[in-house]
Amino acid sequence: MFVTGGGNNETGWSNPEYDRLIAEAARTIDPPKRLEVFQKAEAILLDELPILPIYFYTHVAAQRPEVKGWYPTILDNHPYKYLYLEPSAN
């Protein structure tokens, strides 16, 4: 989002190492390695602070073991048509 010349980079901020890391993450298929690269890029972003994050969305979900078909998603969307109840073993 904050890469040099990116359409969503309205800050005008630019950092070649950040750009390189974001490009590397885009090419990395190993999820743990990709997360590591993104964390390095995020550290640069938070060190130079071209943005000021003032709010982080949170959501708490409690789920009973009988509820099946619910999985965490990036956007926290959970289509109810895929949820079902499975009787407990008790």
Report how far residue 20's alpha carbon sits from residue 28's, in angstroms, rounded to the nearest whole number.
Answer: 12
Cβ neighbours of residue 37 closer than 8 Å, sequence gap 6 or more: 21, 24, 25, 28
pLDDT on residue 15: 97
As a whole number, mean pLDDT of residues 68-72 equals 86
Per residue in 4-61, pLDDT (tens digit) is 999 989 999 999 999 999 999 999 999 999 999 999 999 999 999 998 878 777 777 7
pTM exceeds 0.85? no
Asked if residue 71 has pLDDT above 80, the reply is yes
pLDDT on residue 90: 65
pLDDT on residue 53: 78
